[in-house]
Amino acid sequence: MNVLLTLSAGINLMLGGALLLLWSMDRRHVFVRDWSASWMLLGVGLLIGPVLGDATPPGGWRALQSLVAAACLMGSLVKLLAGALLYRRRRLPVGLALPAWLLMVVGVGVLGAFDIRSAIIVGALLLAAGSCVGAAVMWRGGDRAERWIALALLGLAGVQLSAPLLDAQGRSPITYTAGFVVQTVLSLGLLLLSVARAHREVSRQSQRFMLLAEQSLQGLAVARHGRVLYTNPAARVMFGFDSEAEAAASLIGELVPAEEHERLMAEHRALLADRGARREWQATRRRRDGRAIHIRGLSSHLDWDGAPAELVMMIDDSSHQAALAALRRQALHDELTDLPNRNFAVARLRELTRDARCPPLALISADLDRFQLVNESLGFEVGDALLFAIARRLAACMPERATLARLGEDQFVVLVEDVGAAEAERIVRELLELLEAPFAVSGIQLYMHMSAGLALYPRDAADATVLLRAAESAMHRAKQIAGSSWLRFDPALDGVSRARLETEQTLGAAIEAREFHLEYQPKFAAGARALSGVEALVRWQRSDGTRVSPIEFIPAAERTGQIKALGSLVLELALAQLRRWCDAGGPAVPVAVNVSPLQFEDPQFAEDLLARLDALELPHELLSIEVTETATIANLARVLPQLQLLRAAGVDCALDDFGTGQSSLTLLRQLPIAALKLDRSLIEPLPEPGAAAIVAASCTIGRALGLEVVAEGVETEAQAAHAEALGCTQLQGFLLGRPMPAAALEALFEGRVAPAG
């Protein structure tokens, strides 16, 4: 009897081990692991219980041995049910299984301590019930094989129930023999069922993979040693094959450019030798019809039919690459003329000037003259057509080493490589000559002129940015010349332009920081040469002590519109100083302040100025306004009403730089002015007869209109004497007094300093 039980236990352990080995090959099938544990626990329970139980004398060790055997047998039952549920893709909760197992083990163990017969009956009932539940799980919805397993479980339940029925101690030979047969059949059935399930899962996964591969838009190919072993439909379409047989018969070398064969095969061999290899790549490949396509791929190691192979996943990226190429072209080419644009020109220029050892080159910046007039008068469509025609003519006549690009609306550049100064100048002249013939656009004959600037590398600049700026600087100076013209870059004039830009950029901050102060130049009555007034002259001294000439910053303030803020500051400083002089008892001579016509753009300028005088309690006659002749005439509608308001309020106005403009006698009569200031260009030639005649005529006009006539720029006694003799009523210039600080002028007020004359 013990031999039969030992054999049964051994077979259960062996079959449990086989199931465990099967699970280790594919760990996804957890039910195999649970059935393996069930059969191994059953084998252990049989060995410890019935087989070894008789060899252990009654007592504590035998009771412990019975308890362990019961634990193994109940555990076998739980694992059998857990495996059956997992097979049906259900799960036995641990929170239910563990307490149930403990309850069964403890119940059978306690019961056995008091009545072994009752323990055997309860244990048999529990085992039979578990087998019946397992049979129900396997039967419901099962196929024929699964229902055979269910029937075997029912047979096992019958065997388990027969044990206490046939023998009080559960040791009936019939029970052991039937149990050996049923357990062996059931073990083999579960092993075969597990193998079948694993095989079905593998087949299903394989079918899924093949379905995904066949339906995938991504090309898949398997290759080994230069031959294609498998291709999916997407890969075959990608390379132009009609069938897998055609693709399989082709050599990889037929699809790869010849220059890449050696490198590709070396990478292929390295990938076959490394199971973890994975390589992303992009390359140009050929279709069967010879057309080149751009492929993005991922290659990895693969075991195929028992040997290493290369799995290639690919997508045809040709359309994307074509779109990128179109975007790159769009980024580097002008849409209207199809010429390279600024981005291309600058990048090429940087490339050519990256190394100081690069050959010399010339950069020509060319701009069409008055092109905006074409757009405004004929429309943008005609303007665009004209630009296209000009671009075509210029491009057709470019030298071999020249690159023509369009920088902006009507600006072009020509980059000529490896060229000397003489040849570059010849190319500029030829470029301008190309525009001498008219352009036929929309049925209209249009003549265009072009201004060009030439800069040479490395003589005029050492890098691309500076070279382009140099060529554009020369071009802008050339545009000041009438007609088609060109100029070479001049570093000296470029320095002037930089200084001009610096002045414009720093002027606003200087006004805000109040870096300006006033100096005062006296005016003297003719004949007696007594002090008759002063002119306030603004001076700029930066915080670092450097001085900026008014010749530079006054025009800069007018160009940038900051003359209003500067003029307001000058008036503030002049009125404050005038107030201090009045408080100190200084002589009542008027202070003249130069006012830009741009300040009169504010319709409240005159009223605000009078309000300032009233706020400081200054007599209106102590302030005089000087405006230039040319600017006043150009802005007469804006300036005249406010001059009239100031004159009516007692503020005198003087027409500065008289003789340089185009004012008429009628206009002079209309202007509400009190004085004419003859420009220094009229006084400097005195006593030449021609100059004297002009001064005399101006003085006659002044007397006729009842105006003071001031001679500016008096630097010699001869000039002063003749100006007085010709009728000038006041003199101003270095001969009598230079511009001076307020403190020095106060000494003149007190009579301590006499005029130089």
The pLDDT tens digits for 144-174 are 888 888 888 888 788 778 877 777 665 677 7
pLDDT, tens digit (0-9, with 9 covering 90-100), for 68-91: 777 887 888 888 888 888 878 888
Fold (CATH) for 2-204: Rhopdopsin 7-helix transmembrane proteins (1.20.1070)
User: Residue 192 is encoded by which pair of tokens?
Assistant: 């075969």
* pLDDT at residue 443 greater than cutoff 60: yes
The pLDDT confidence band at residue 120, using thresholds 50, 70 and 90, is confident
pLDDT at residue 757 above 70?
A: no
User: How large is the average pLDDT for residues 248-267?
Assistant: 73
pLDDT at 586 over 80: no
Residues in the chain: 757
Residue entry with tokens 């990895």: 300
State which fold the 515-537+567-749 domain adopts. Answer: TIM Barrel (3.20.20)
What is the structure's pLDDT at 57? Answer: 62
pLDDT at 374 over 70: yes
Look at residue 86 in the predicted model and tell me its pLDDT: 81
- Smallest CA-to-CA distance from 371 within 454, 487, 479 is with 479
Query: What's the Rg (C-alpha) of the chain?
Result: 55
In 237-337, the DSSP E strands lie at 278-286, 292-304, 307-316
Percent of the chain having pLDDT more than 70? 90
Confidence (pLDDT) at 729: 94
Of the pLDDT bands very low, low, confident and very high (cuts 50, 70, 90), residue 289 is: confident
Predicted confidence band at 754 (pLDDT cuts at 50, 70, 90)?
A: very low
Domain spanning 333-489: CATH superfamily: Reverse transcriptase/Diguanylate cyclase domain (3.30.70.270)
pLDDT range class, residue 408, cuts 50, 70, 90: confident
Answer yes or no: is pLDDT of 668 > 90: no
Q: What does the alpha-carbon distance between residue 566 and residue 596 come to, in Å, rounded to a whole number? A: 10
Q: What are the structural domain ranges in the chain?
A: 2-204, 216-321, 333-489, 515-537+567-749
Q: Which residue has the higher pLDDT, 188 or 755?
A: 188
The CATH architecture of the domain made up of 216-321 is 2-Layer Sandwich (3.30)
When mean pLDDT is compared over 79-88, 177-186, 283-292, 416-425, the highest value belongs to 416-425
pLDDT recorded at residue 719: 94
Confidence of residue 576 (pLDDT cuts 50, 70, 90): very high
Q: What is the pLDDT of residue 230?
A: 86
- pLDDT at 61 (0 to 100): 67
Predicted confidence at residue 113, as pLDDT, reads 62
Q: Which comes out higher in pLDDT, residue 414 or 747? A: 414
Residue 450 vs residues 435, 484, 598: alpha-carbon distances, Å: 7, 5, 33
Instruction: For residues 487 and 460, give the distance between their C-alpha atoms in angstroms, rounded to a whole number.
Output: 13
The overall average pLDDT reported for the chain is 82
Q: List the single range of 141-155, 164-178, 405-419, 545-559 with lowest mean pLDDT.
A: 164-178
% the chain with pLDDT above 90: 18
- Are 74 and 101 spatial neighbours (Cβ–Cβ below 8 Å)? yes
Among 374, 513, 503, which residue's Cα sits nearest to residue 444? 374
753 pLDDT exceeds 50? no
Average pLDDT of the segment spanning 54-73:
69
Q: Does residue 756 register a pLDDT over 60?
A: no
- pLDDT single digits (tens) 479-529: 888 888 888 887 766 556 666 767 777 888 888 889 999 999 999 999 888
Predicted confidence band of residue 118 (pLDDT cuts 50, 70, 90): confident
Could you give the CA distance from residue 315 to residue 729 in angstroms, rounded to a whole number? 95
What mean pLDDT comes out for the span 129-135? 84
Q: Are 408 and 387 in contact (CB under 8 A)?
A: no
pLDDT higher at 426 or 210 = 426
Residue 103 has pLDDT above 60, yes or no: yes
